[in-house]
Amino acid sequence: MLPVGGIHHVTCIAGDPQENLDFYAGLLGMRLVKRSVNQDDPGTYHLFYADAEGHPGSDLTFFPWPDMGPGRNGTGITNEVALAIPQGSAAWWRDRLAKEGLRVREETRFGEETLAFEDFHGLRLALTTSPRAQERTFTPWARSAVPAVHQIRGLHAVRAVEIAADPTKALAERVLGMRLVGSEEGWDRYAGADPASGHLDVCSKPSLPRGEWGVGKVHHVAWRVKDDAQQRDLQGAVRSAGLGATQVIDRFWFHSVYFREPGGILFELATDGPGFGVDEPLDALGERLVLPPWLEPRRPQIEERLSPLRLPRAPEARP
């Protein structure tokens, strides 16, 4: 059985959608590659940020639920998302974030220079200078305020805290086919088939309270599968491990299978295709509201429930 390739996308819960757009497309300079809705709650946006072409592994997405209360960090949820930046870019990003009033902690994790901070809604983020960032499939966004040499290359890692991490580690190794590639300070790092793709960092903290979904927290983590055949194989492996994987769900831009890993975090197996260019040209991604075909007949009612969004004027880039 083929192992997962790494992280496909991470979906988080945001507050106000315009504030979310201003932060990720404006300050962080990521491209809004798909402006759609939560297919299970069509009155809510689903905003997708990635590189210029929305390659799998570069995609950070959000459900903005402004009326939801804040979440709580703890066990059984993903507590942080790390994004890969090229080596030599940390100082540039530190200055940019500080200029916008964000508090940044400088750390070294697994030998990698890391800037840890929070977005406008409390989501824990990190920018990590990955030595393998240049190996990733990446298309720079020409209209970003961030120069191409410093642009975010994709998803680097997620950090999961468990009451007891051993069952999660067993799932990563025996079901998802991931490899242990490092251990430090209680954290174990697992990588998929693509060593330049996103990792799973997991640790045990039994004294922490249970985490809770809410604004500023990760909703789910999706792992890359090459195609429908690999997805079916892994779906069967997950079920054989005693975990309740869903049927395949057509998300139009990819196909999805969901399950909860032993600690309770919602995982997804997502196919690399068809991709975000299936329903709009690459040079126009994210500029209008796009709906999957089965929701298109409800467009008038859906648009009436959504607040208007404007693409932000990004903070000026500095060389």
Contact (Cβ atoms closer than 8 angstroms) between residue 227 and residue 233:
no
pLDDT of 314 over the 60 cut: no
At 316 the pLDDT is 52
Instruction: Give the per-residue pLDDT at 317.
Output: 47
Domain 7-305 indexed as CATH 3.10.180.10: yes
pLDDT at position 313, please? 66
pLDDT in tens, 226-282: 999 999 999 999 999 999 999 999 999 999 999 999 999 999 999 999 999 999 999
Question: Sign of the CA dihedral 33, 35, 37, 38?
Answer: positive
* Encoded tokens for 295: 């929701």
77-85 and 154-162 beta bridge pairing? antiparallel
Tokens found for residue 205: 């903290």
CA distances from 67 to 52, 61, 306 (A): 31, 18, 14
Q: Which two tokens stand for residue 199?
A: 């990792």
Position 134 scores a pLDDT of: 83
pLDDT (tens digit per residue) in 73-101: 999 999 999 999 999 999 999 999 999 99
Q: Tell me the pLDDT band of 195, cut-offs 50, 70 and 90.
A: confident
Give the pLDDT confidence score for residue 318 in this predicted structure: 46
Q: Is the pLDDT of residue 145 over 80?
A: yes
Q: In this structure, what token pair is assigned to residue 13?
A: 């819960």
Mean pLDDT of the 169-181 span: 98
Eight-class DSSP state of 304: H
In this prediction, residue 57 has a pLDDT band, given cuts at 50, 70 and 90, of very high
